[in-house]
A and B are shown apart, each in its own frame.
Chain A
Amino acid sequence: AQTVTQSQPEMSVQEAETVTLSCTYDTSENNYYLFWYKQPPSRQMILVIRQEAYKQQNATENRFSVNFQKAAKSFSLKISDSQLGDTAMYFCAFMDSNYQLIWGAGTKLIIKP
């Protein structure tokens, strides 16, 4: 069975610091997609970044980047120059070949002023 594990239930950092959220997954598939979604207090689900497993290059979106280690099945999210608006739950998710998303339990990130 495919699983996604986020081992950090909660993290907090000072504004402007860099923070890394960890995610590991387990699958026997070779082609798949990985996502990070952000859920602010409004409870919307917002796509932060995605990674195709067949691409070695790590995805980057402005202050957000990933460290994708396919052999280790690791997909961490780095947020640089963190801002107060980054405070949210962050969910790592794996998409299989049937377009099914498997979710991690989430990491609550608090950015302190």
Chain B
Amino acid sequence: EPEVTQTPSHQVTQMGQEVILRCVPISNHLYFYWYRQILGQKVEFLVSFYNNEISEKSEIFDDQFSVERPDGSNFTLKIRSTKLEDSAMYFCASIMGLTGSPLHFGNGTRLTVT
């Protein structure tokens, strides 16, 4: 069964550095998402992407965040200048877009900002 792939599985970075989290959604899916989950807490929506543009974003997704789909397969989340509070698990998800189809999640990238 096709799956969503995320790399790296774990990223450690210093505060103020830029990080890029990478995702390869399922090939025939149309909607893409980034979520984050601070350890032990709720899953938080960051951004959704459809038709090569952001369709919705949360208050968390400020100017420090950006998303791109550079080549039709990868879907990246960039954090320009990381803060300690960006430490979290970041999940990519995709959905075909047919009514009722579930989101398929990648295994996540654990980001640690020191």
Interface residues of A (CB under 8 A from B): 33, 35, 37, 42-47, 50, 52, 91, 95, 98-101, 103-106
- The residue on A at minimum CB distance from B110 is A43
Interface residues of B (CB under 8 A from A): 31, 33, 37, 42-43, 45, 48, 55-56, 89, 91, 93, 95, 97, 100, 102-105, 107-108, 110
A52 to B101, CA, bound (A): 10
Minimal beta-carbon separation of B54 from chain A (angstroms) = 13
With A33-B100, A43-B89, A47-B102: A99-B95 Cβ-Cβ less than 8 Å: yes
With A43-B108, A100-B45, A105-B42: A50-B100 Cβ-Cβ less than 8 Å: yes
6 smallest beta-carbon distances between A and B, as pairs: A45-B105, A103-B43, A105-B42, A33-B100, A47-B102, A44-B107
- The residue on A at minimum CB distance from B44 is A103
Pick from A44, A50, A99, A100: contact of B105, CB below 8 A.
A44
User: Are B42 and A99 in contact, CB atoms less than 8 angstroms apart?
Assistant: no
